[in-house]
Structure 1
Amino acid sequence: MAPQAPQRMPKITILDPRDGFYHAVGTPMAHTTKSYIEHPWRTWDQIAELKRPSVSILKGTAVRADPETKRLLYLSSESNGQQQQQHTLDYDFLVVGTGLRRPWPTVPVATTKSEYAMQAGRYIDRLRTCDSVVVIGGGAVGIEMAAEIKHRYPTKQVTLVHSRSALLSSEPVPTEFQYQVLQVAQLGGVNVMLKNRVLSVTEGLGNTKMIKLEDGNHLTADEVIWATSSAAPVTEFLPRKALDEKGFVNVLPSMQFAASIPNNQNHFAVGDVIATPGIRLAKTAIRMGRTAAMNIAHMIVSAERGHGLQPDLAEMRGPNKGLSLIIGGSGAAFDEKTGAIFCGPEVKNGIFGDDMALHRALGALGLPLNP
C-alpha cells in the first residue's frame, strides 16, 4: 500500500552527469538503427513530472559521500563541459543509483542527448562500412549486441567470442536455457565461439583489428566490441566499508545500507550498484527505486507525526533469477516461477515489442511514451 504523502513536500535533488534518463536496454537497437537513436534518451526537461519547484537537477558527478555527517561532495559541470567546480550538498536521505561503468558502444559515454545522437550516428556510419564484427563476452549484453548487429546487417560476419563453455555463464539460469539461447543466436547467423579467451586486441593493416585468442589462434575484424561481464559499479564515492569486495553496495531488503554504516537508515542503494546473487534487470531496478521511495516517504511521515520508532518498511523479495533476451529478430525467456523456457519471435514481440521495451520502462515509471 502506498504511504501517505508528507505534509511538507520534501526537496528532491537529482545529481547526474547526463542531461536526462537513458533506457540502456535499447542500446543494441540505438547503436544499429538511426531512426531509433533519440528514443531511449529522455532529457530532464522532457519529463513533466520533474517540473516542480521541489525538484532540482544538478549536472555533475559525486566525489565523496559521508554517511556520518550526511554530506555529499560533488563535481559540477557547466553546459560547455569545460568548467568544473566542487560543491557540497547536505541531505536527509541519499539514494544511490549510479549503475555500472561499461565501455562504449555497450552504453553511451556522452553526457548530453545532442552529443550522444551525433556519436551514435557516427558509430552507425562506421558500422555500415564494416564487413566483420567481433563481440567479446557472452553475457546478456554481448549476446544482444551481436544478434542485433547481425539482424540489422545480415550480410556482415558477426562473431561472438566467450571464454566459458556456455553463454550466460555468470547468470543463475539453467543449462537448458543457456543452450536454447545459443541455438537462437546461431540460427540468427551469429558465429559463436565458446571456450575462447581473448588475450589481446591490436591494430592490424588498414582499419582492421587483430584478436589474439588463448589457444594461439587469431581473428581479424573491422570492428571489436567489448561486452565482458566485468563492468564495475560506480561507487568510488562511497565509504569502502559500505561495499563488498567487488565494489557493490551491501543493502538490506529495504534497500537501506547495511546496519554497520552510520545513519544507514537514511542511505539507500538501488539498481545495478547493489550486491546481489540475482540477475541485474531494468524492471528489478525500477521496483527497487519504488521500494526506496516508499520507505523514505514512510519515514518522513513517521517523523512528522512524532513517532519515535522506525515504521515498518517495504522490502524487496529474493534475488531475481528470471531472464528475457532480445536475440536479433527473435527472443528467449526463462520463467523462474515455473521453470518454463520460451524462444522465438513471439517472445521478442510479446515482451519487448518493437522499441526494446521502452514503452514498458516508461510505463513502469509513470511516464508517457511521447514526451
Structure 2
Amino acid sequence: MPPRVVIIGGGYGGSAAAKALDDVAEVTLVEPKDAFLHNVGALRAAVDADFAPRIFLPYDKLLSRGRVLRDRAVQVEPGTVTLASGATLDTDYLVLATGSGYPFPAKSDLDDSAASLAKFGATREQLTEADRVLLLGAGPVGLEFAGEIKARWPRKQVVLIDPSPGILSGYSEPFRAEILRQLDGLGVELLLGDSLAQDPPTEVGTAGAFTVTTRAGTEVSAGLWFRTHGVTPATGYLTGALAGARLSGGQVAVGPTLQVKGQSTVFALGDITDVAEPKRAGAAMRHAEVIAENITSLIGGGTELGRYEPGPAALLLPLGPHGGATELPGGQLLGPGTTSEYKGADLMVGRFSETFGLTGKD
C-alpha cells in the first residue's frame, strides 16, 4: 500500500500540496467547502456580478488518484484525524493547511458555494445603494477593495481609515508613491494615523447612513462600511501532541523544513505558520512545493530535507481591472498596464481554472 497523506484544508497551499503528492501517495484532502474559493478574486466578485461565479472552482478534477473529502477536521493529532462527521482517518503524513479567517468580502466563511455567491450578490446590492463607503484598514485588502469600488462606480465616494501613518510599510517608496498617486486620481480619501473610537452603529456590510468620529476628532459620514483588516489563523482543531505547537496568536510553530516543531511527519503551510513573511496565496503555494518535495523524500527513505527561505518583499496590487502597481523582488516597479496583464484583468482565474482541470473557464 502507498503511504497515506492527509491534507487538512483545500485552499491555495493545501490544493497545491495534494496535487503535487497525488502520484506518490494515497492522498486525502479534507475540505468543508464544496468548491475552491479563489480568494484573490473575491473583492471583484463583490462589485461585478458577471465575475463572481468564476471564483468558485469545483474540486472534482483536481486529483487523478487521490480523493477530496468534503468534511471538517475537528480533532487532529499525529497519525489521526477526527472529522465532524464522526469518521476518523489514519495517516502516515499530515499537512496542516487550514489557512485563516478574514472579514467578508475578502474571504467567505460559508461552505456552500451557492450561499456564498448569494452573499456576494447581497453585498453588491448594498454597495450599489450607498453613495459613500467607509473601509476600516488601508492595507493591501483595503486599498484593492477601494480600487474595485471606484472602478465599478467612479462617482461613489470611498474613504479609508488606518492607524498607520503611511501605507504598505516594508515596500519601496516609489511603489507606495505610485499607489498613492493612483488612489488620488481615483478620488479615494485616506485618513492615516487615525482610527475610530468605536465601530459605526450600523451592521457591517449593511447600507444605512451614519456619522462617526475618529480619535483625532474628524467626523466621517458614510452609508456603508466594511472591515478590511484582521487575520485569524484557523488552528483550533489541533489536539494532543500538536496542541503544544499552537502559539498564543493561533499560528503554528514550524522549522525551516516546514515540519511542525517537535514532529517529523507533520507539516504546516500558509497563513497558519509562524514564518515571518506576508501571508498570501503565493507564499502558501511555495510552502506546498517544499512540503511535497520533503514528503516525497521521506517516502523514498531520504534524510536530507529542503528548507524554505522567505523571499524579499513583493506585491501585485491591482486597483480595479486596469489600475494598480507591482513591486517585484529586488524593488523593480511595474505600472498599471503590466499589473493588469499579470493579475488585474482576470485576477488569475484562468491560471487556477487550469490547475483545477477546468479548461474553458478562463
Q: With the length of structure 1 as denominator, give the TM-score of the two structures.
A: 0.83
Task: Measure, in 1, the Cα distance between the counterparts of 2:233 and 2:82.
Answer: 19
Unaligned 5+ segments in structure 1 are 77-85, 303-309
Among 181, 185, 188, which residue is 2:179 paired with? Answer: 181
Give the structure 1 partner of residue 323 of structure 2: 330
1:224 aligns with 2:243: no
Among 325, 334, 341, which residue is 1:342 paired with? Answer: 334
Among 62, 65, 68, which residue is 1:57 paired with? Answer: 68
Task: Measure, in 2, the Cα distance between the counterparts of 1:202 and 1:140.
Answer: 22
Question: Residue deviations 1:90-136, cap 9 Å, x none?
Answer: 21111111111112122112212211222211221221111111111
Question: Residue deviations 1:67-100, cap 9 Å, x none?
Answer: 2xx2122313xxxxxxxxx333221111111111
* Correspondence list, 1:278-357, <5 A: 278-302=277-301, 310-328=302-320, 329-337=322-330, 339-343=331-335, 345-357=336-348
Q: Using the TM superposition, give the Cα deviation of residue 301 of structure 1 relative to its aligned residue in structure 2, in angstroms.
A: 2.5
Task: Measure, in 1, the Cα distance between the counterparts of 2:276 and 2:104.
Answer: 26
Task: Measure, in 2, the Cα distance between the counterparts of 1:164 and 1:211.
Answer: 19
Question: Residue deviations 1:307-332, cap 9 Å, x none?
Answer: xxx43223322344111101223111
Task: Measure, in 2, the Cα distance between the counterparts of 1:163 and 1:38.
Answer: 35
* Correspondence list, 1:219-258, <5 A: 219-228=220-229, 230-238=230-238, 239-258=242-261
| Distance verdict in 2 for CA 1:10–1:204, change over 3 Å | closer
Secondary structure of the 1:39 match is helix
1:21 aligns with 2:14: no
Task: Measure, in 2, the Cα distance between the counterparts of 1:44 and 1:148.
Answer: 28
Aligned partners of 1:212 and 1:218 also within 8 Å: yes
Task: Measure, in 1, the Cα distance between the counterparts of 2:272 and 2:283.
Answer: 12
Give the structure 2 partner of residue 207 of structure 1: 208
| Distance verdict in 2 for CA 1:245–1:325, change over 3 Å | same
Aligned partners of 1:6 and 1:301 also within 8 Å: no
1:42 aligns with 2:53: no
Q: Using the TM superposition, give the Cα deviation of residue 342 of structure 1 relative to its aligned residue in structure 2, in angstroms.
A: 2.7
Task: Measure, in 1, the Cα distance between the counterparts of 2:219 and 2:83.
Answer: 45
Secondary structure of the 2:133 match is strand
Secondary structure of the 2:70 match is strand
Task: Measure, in 1, the Cα distance between the counterparts of 2:359 and 2:283.
Answer: 20
* Correspondence list, 1:187-202, <5 A: 187-202=185-200
| Distance verdict in 2 for CA 1:6–1:87, change over 3 Å | closer
Task: Measure, in 2, the Cα distance between the counterparts of 1:300 and 1:163.
Answer: 49
Tell me which amino acid in the other structure corresponds to 2:190: V
* Correspondence list, 1:100-179, <5 A: 100-169=100-169, 172-179=170-177
Identity %: 25
Task: Measure, in 1, the Cα distance between the counterparts of 2:359 and 2:189.
Answer: 36
| Distance verdict in 2 for CA 1:369–1:153, change over 3 Å | farther
Q: Using the TM superposition, give the Cα deviation of residue 237 of structure 1 relative to its aligned residue in structure 2, in angstroms.
A: 1.7
Give the structure 1 partner of residue 11 of structure 2: none
Secondary structure of the 2:71 match is strand
